[in-house]
């Protein structure tokens, strides 16, 4: 029991159970409707993938504010390549390489330039978003129907047994990331770096390599999230992903990962994404004005972080 | 090393620092420092704040390269300075504030940077059983409480236990050099005695122990040789028996102005 309470993600586990029970009792017809479930699954996947990437970066005491713009530029690149008759596979590979490259650039500025990741990625947020505007001239592009029927596009954007593939991908990658984080050397090095960088380095942890990988993973997941979005829902526009960086950070923090690094779980992050998505969906269903959602994110963030901090203090003193 | 009379010193120094200088811009942190460290001895490195003790250690542990001068390890000249290199050579620096990650378990800290893995379908996963068993054996051999579970976060240990843990880890990974940077600060009297006892045991096992401290009386009791630094220079380098702790303290208090050079070590 003590071990369970010690989990950093205990708050969000309880929060999700609470939200699930509340909506089941309050509005069962709407809540247990298949289209609701599949919608929540899809949007949890989009936010969850972004947030998993963000988790790696936050775990090493850094932050990535560029993920919303990376999500945008990778999505626009993928859609743009689709419209110029390039095969889906090649377009996918090029778009994901772009994502990795952006992660690498972030890492180089942070490590070699010794700059704060907040500044570097804030620069990225503006730069890549601007690039989207410049290259598209503000025109709306989408993924053409023919490309959407390609096997690879179906793999990311289709569904299986009426479950959105994006959601299945989230579960699969979430599982792999959790295993990587807690059962491999890289994961141990990442946690050590987040816990105490000087100590990690003194024991021979290749800190620069771990940092670089964390930033690359973060951009990679942002790119993947964009592909999952576009192959499922081909309409897009230049503001694709705006504000997603903050939502992804909120999901990670509500999921129990500490901004001070070194502690957190992938499960918490996925539940954090589910929590926000489920509440947004339910608020729309209940006819609440959608703008309330933003205020709700703020309140939920404060409540959960306060509870987590109090729990941590109490456990420390016992 | 060949000496002037043609005979060969039977003991080659494990670490040899020759004419090392280090400057940060206009600030001269180390000036022409030459000192040898031998296997199986404990050297007390003493001096006031800003004397250059820690700077010297940072060079030895590969954190910063010297501006000029040479560093030899086991007879081989070191040309590239980076922490992993020092670790690979078997050198471990034990510092008060660095060395363990509070957010990790005792076992994970024990194997940090050297995690054993077990392949499962070709993928290397952490060998948790080995981590648990090996670290449990060591922490208990070194006299940590029986109630310490290696799966617990290391933050639960006391200051002295953490120091003991770092020493235990340094020893069991077959290191050759242990540098202790003020290891007994903030420790209780009993914990301090335990750490010093461990330091002596390390020396007796044939390791080179470089012990940095402010406390000349404490180190005079256990070290074989005392090196005093002042203003980035080595001012004294004497075998323990050559000078009393009081005389050495006088040198430190006078800013190294007393006998500029003590007798050479054997």
The verdict on A199 touching B (C-beta cutoff 8 Å) is yes
Interatomic CA distance for residues B102 and A263, integer angstroms: 10
Count Cβ–Cβ pairs < 8 Å, chain A vs chain B.
71
**Which residues on B lie below 8 Å from A198 (Cβ)?**
97-98
Interatomic CA distance for residues B111 and B69, integer angstroms: 35
Share of chain A above pLDDT 70, in %: 95
Q: Is pLDDT above 70 for A300?
A: yes
What are the extents of the domains in chain A?
Answer: 37-307
Contact B104 A206 (CB under 8 A): no
Give mean pLDDT, residues A259-279.
91
State whether CATH 3.40.50.300 applies to domain B15-90+176-253.
yes
- Give the pLDDT confidence of B228-248 residue by residue, as tens digits: 888 888 888 888 888 888 888
Q: Is pLDDT above 80 for A140?
A: no
Provide the sign of the torsion angle of the four alpha carbons A191, A197, A199, A205, taken in this order: positive
Residue-by-residue pLDDT tens, chain B, 266 positions: 443 444 445 678 889 989 999 988 888 888 889 999 998 899 999 888 878 888 888 888 888 888 888 899 888 888 888 777 888 888 888 887 888 888 888 889 998 888 888 888 888 888 888 888 888 888 778 777 777 788 888 888 888 888 888 888 888 876 789 998 888 877 788 888 888 888 898 888 888 999 998 888 888 888 899 998 888 888 888 888 888 888 888 888 776 554 444 444 44
Give mean pLDDT, residues A12-36.
83
What are the extents of the domains in chain B?
Answer: 15-90+176-253
Q: pTM, whole model, 2 decimals? A: 0.84
Res B2: pLDDT: 40
Res A285: pLDDT: 79
Interatomic CA distance for residues A154 and A143, integer angstroms: 12
* Cα dihedral: B161, B162, B168, B173 (round 10): 160
Where residue A315 falls among pLDDT bands split at 50, 70, 90? low
| Architecture in CATH for domain A37-307 | Orthogonal Bundle (1.10)
Interatomic CA distance for residues A36 and A109, integer angstroms: 42
- Give the pLDDT confidence of B58-112 residue by residue, as tens digits: 888 888 888 888 899 888 888 888 777 888 888 888 887 888 888 888 889 998 8
Provide the sign of the torsion angle of the four alpha carbons B50, B52, B58, B61, taken in this order: negative
Rounded to 5 degrees, what are φ and ψ at A184?
A: -125, 165
Contact B100 A199 (CB under 8 A): yes
The verdict on A185 touching B (C-beta cutoff 8 Å) is yes
Helix (H) or strand (E) holding A73: helix A67-82
Res B9: pLDDT: 53
* Cα dihedral: B183, B189, B191, B194 (round 10): 90
Contact A199 B99 (CB under 8 A): yes
**Which residues on B lie below 8 Å from A184 (Cβ)?**
117, 124-126
């Amino acid at each position: 029991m003590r071990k369970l309470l010690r989990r950093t993600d205990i708050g969000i586990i309880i929060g999700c159970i609470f939200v699930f029970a509340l909506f089941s009792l309050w509005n069962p017809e709407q809540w247990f409707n298949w289209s609701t479930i599949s919608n929540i699954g899809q949007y949890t996947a989009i936010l969850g993938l972004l947030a998993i990437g963000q988790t790696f970066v936050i775990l090493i005491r850094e932050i990535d504010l560029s993920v919303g713009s990376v999500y945008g530029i990778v999505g626009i690149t993928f859609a743009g390549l689709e419209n110029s008759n390039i095969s889906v596979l090649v377009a996918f590979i090029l778009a994901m390489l772009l994502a990795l490259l952006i992660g690498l650039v972030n890492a180089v500025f942070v490590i070699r330039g010794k700059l704060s990741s907040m500044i570097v990625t804030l620069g990225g947020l503006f730069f890549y978003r601007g690039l989207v505007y410049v290259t598209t001239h503000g025109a709306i592009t989408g993924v053409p129907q023919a490309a959407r029927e390609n096997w690879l596009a179906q793999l990311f954007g289709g569904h299986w047994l009426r479950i959105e593939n994006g959601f299945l991908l989230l579960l699969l990658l979430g599982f792999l990331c959790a295993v990587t984080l807690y059962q491999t050397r890289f994961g141990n090095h990442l946690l050590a770096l987040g816990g105490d960088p000087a100590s990690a380095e003194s024991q021979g942890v290749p800190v620069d390599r771990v940092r670089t990988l964390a930033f690359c993973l973060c951009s990679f997941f942002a790119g993947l999230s964009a592909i999952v979005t576009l192959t499922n829902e081909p309409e897009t526009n230049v503001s694709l992903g705006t504000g997603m960086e903050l939502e992804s950070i909120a999901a990670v923090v509500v999921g129990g990962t500490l901004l001070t690094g070194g502690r957190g779980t992938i499960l918490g992050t996925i539940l954090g994404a589910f929590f926000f998505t489920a509440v947004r969906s339910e608020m729309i269903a209940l006819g609440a004005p959608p703008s309330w959602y933003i205020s709700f994110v703020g309140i939920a963030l404060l409540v959960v972080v306060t509870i987590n901090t109090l729990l941590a203090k109490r456990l420390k003193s016992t | 090393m060949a000496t002037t009379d043609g005979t060969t010193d039977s003991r080659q120094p494990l670490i040899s620092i020759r004419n090392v200088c280090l400057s940060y811009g206009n600030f001269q942190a180390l000036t022409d420092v030459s000192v040898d460290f031998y296997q199986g001895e404990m050297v007390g490195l003493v001096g006031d704040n800003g004397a250059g003790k820690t700077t010297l250690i940072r060079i030895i542990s590969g954190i910063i390269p010297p501006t000029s001068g040479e560093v030899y390890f086991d007879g081989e000249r070191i040309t590239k300075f980076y922490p992993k290199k020092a670790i690979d050579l078997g050198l471990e620096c034990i510092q008060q504030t660095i060395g363990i990650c509070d957010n990790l378990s005792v076992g994970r800290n024990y194997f940090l940077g050297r995690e054993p893995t077990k392949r499962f379908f070709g993928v290397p996963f952490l060998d948790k059983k080995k981590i648990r068993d090996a670290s449990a054996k060591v922490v208990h051999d070194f006299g940590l409480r029986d109630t310490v579970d290696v799966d617990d976060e290391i933050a639960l240990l006391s200051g002295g236990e953490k120091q003991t843990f770092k020493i235990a880890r340094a020893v069991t990974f077959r290191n050759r050099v242990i540098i202790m940077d003020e290891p007994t600060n903030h420790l209780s009297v009993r914990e301090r005695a335990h750490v010093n006892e461990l330091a002596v045991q390390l020396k007796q096992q044939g390791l080179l122990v470089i012990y940095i401290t402010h406390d000349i009386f404490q180190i005079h009791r256990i070290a074989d040789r005392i090196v005093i630094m002042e203003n980035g220079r080595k001012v004294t380098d004497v075998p323990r028996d050559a000078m009393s702790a009081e005389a050495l303290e006088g040198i430190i208090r006078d800013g190294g102005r007393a006998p500029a050079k003590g007798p050479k070590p054997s």
